[in-house]
Amino acid sequence: MIASTVCLVAALAPLALGTKSRAHNSTYYNPILPGFHPDPSCIFVPEWDNTFFCASSSFNAFPGIPLHASKDLQSWKLAGHVLNRQEQLPRLAETNRSTSGIWAPTLRFHEGTFWLVTTLVDDEKDANDASRWDNVIFKSDDPYNPSAWSEAIHFNFEGYDTSPVWDSDGKVYIVGGHAWRVFPGILLAEADLDTGEVGEWEIIWNGTGGTAPEGPHVYLKDGWYYLLAAEGGTGLEHMVTMARSKSIRGPYEVNPANPVLTNANTTNYFQTVGHADMFKDGAGNWWGVALSTRSGPEYIYYPMGRETVMVPVSWPDGEFPIWSSLKGEMSGWELPLENVQINGHGPLITKGDSVDFEPGSVLPAHFTHWRFPVAESYTVSPPDHPSTLRLDPSTLNLTALNGNYAGPSGQTFVGRRQQDTLFTYSVNLDFAPTSLEEEAGVSVFLTQNHHLDLGVVMLPAHSSTASFPGMNYSINSSELIPQLRFRGISYIPVPNDIVIPIPSAWTDKTLRLEIKAHNMTHYSMSAGPAGALSEMHTVLDVSNAAVSWGFTGVILGIYCTSNGYEGSTPAYFSKWRYIPQGQYRD
């Protein structure tokens, strides 16, 4: 029987009899989208120049819902962001809690339109409060054009991880994971995606008994509806399970080979594997994508958080699909020919940064804020400081009001995802603070309650806790002086604050601030005069366990704040560099 699928990417791929065998296998490496790219949903769209597209969760980050494109499943470029304007979903500004924001999108293509269905979650609300789930639909006729993505279309569902389904009879459904603390289950309702109207929700499957059945997708193949789900929670027990039925409404029979994908109870470096999706390529071969953390079973050091991985899937006619086991180096179906000619304004995901903020330029597409930025706080190449990025201070610092909420005034912060195990990130800083607690610097930022900062800050001289070797200072004065300060916040212990006077030889000079991952467990944070890098001093080495937590991944960036005081001095950053220096895959 010729295969068809409600997962429209596959429906639009060339039809094939089952899965073709290829002349030879290909070798590729996981993760395919390194860094903070969880909950992947991927499609293949022949109508758009045989391009693969993958969407991923963004939580409180903005622009939100990054969309990556590839021609060869190896070279992935940032095509854009589905959520790129505040008017599309204004409530993102109001989220309260680090685990709130945009959860698990599903990306599909149907009759010339790209559809993105997702949930804005207010995770601080009670589990029984149905208003914690704001399910939304975006659509576009051009995935590369930010303005083509619609404003949110809202629909009612007490749950999350919603996914659209086009049936063979023309009806459209949405399937989603019910709020599992109320009751666990996968639910289905008929839907109008243009209006957000939905019918009555009904339970179609309860999973296999694992915690929190969620992340469902439905695929129609060989006369069967195949239901894919995640169970076990997004930690070490995470797994992918499947069931199938002759009717989209069920009953669904469980795959006897469940779980079809997991690394639970193994020593594999890739852990927490789950929340999957499937797509078929132009040669008729199936692939599966999922999230995973590079943590090993110890689950301590994983600052890049949940990343996107890919495995080959064999899907014989009339049978359940067979997923390959996940590891760092994979052997799978023959990949499409190498092709880096990909549309989109962002970089290839493996590239580093060399950004000089030239006159007339804008912030790069992959630069990221935490919630909506105050646009006026970011000026590229101001006339009095060309080839710099001026940051005007926010009253709130990176922790903001309580480590979870920031209110409408925002936080002046911009960064880029850590996407390599080993890297060096550095930037020049010109900053002349004049009042108490004015601060600008660099941050290893995971969330408002998990970040490690190194900044220049105006403090009384007697606040000093240390000095650089060979440099002595009088620390008995209450005079305000510029000092280097490290401080961090996390749910696990972090080093005490370190406050070091800026050496007099560095006064009135441009400084260089640096964050370096020199192994898989620690960062070094350093500072020195930009014109004499041999004088760089390491302020401390700090464990990345403090930023290995939750749903997101590290963003490396710059900030400027008055720390709740009255300061208004701007900071000028230049020569932004991110140098990839190695990936650990086992």
**Catalytic position from the list 39, 231, 438, 439:** 39
Rounded to an integer, what distance in angstroms lies between the CA atom of residue 311 and that of residue 330?
Answer: 7
Question: Phi and psi of 323, rounded to 5°?
Answer: -95, 140
Rounded to an integer, what distance in angstroms lies between the CA atom of residue 556 and that of residue 453?
Answer: 10
Is 39 among the residues known to form the active site?
yes
**Catalytic position from the list 214, 281, 420, 514:** 214
**Backbone dihedral region for residue 492 (phi beyond 0: left; psi -120 to 50: alpha; all else: beta):** beta
CA distances, 328 to each of 111, 269, 314, 322, 386 (Å)? 36, 8, 19, 19, 43
DSSP assigned state of 8: H
Nearest to 485 by CA among 447, 431, 532, 533: 431
At residue 212, what is the residue type?
Answer: A
Q: How many residues does the chain have?
A: 586
Retrieve residue 420's tokens: 């390599």
Nearest to 304 by CA among 419, 445, 453, 422: 419
Rounded to an integer, what distance in angstroms lies between the CA atom of residue 511 and that of residue 532?
Answer: 9
| Cα angle value 398/402/405 (rounded, 5°) | 75
DSSP assigned state of 87: G
Chain-centroid distance of CA 119 in Å reads: 15
Is 566 among the residues known to form the active site?
no
At residue 433, what is the residue type?
Answer: P
Active-site residue list: 39, 214
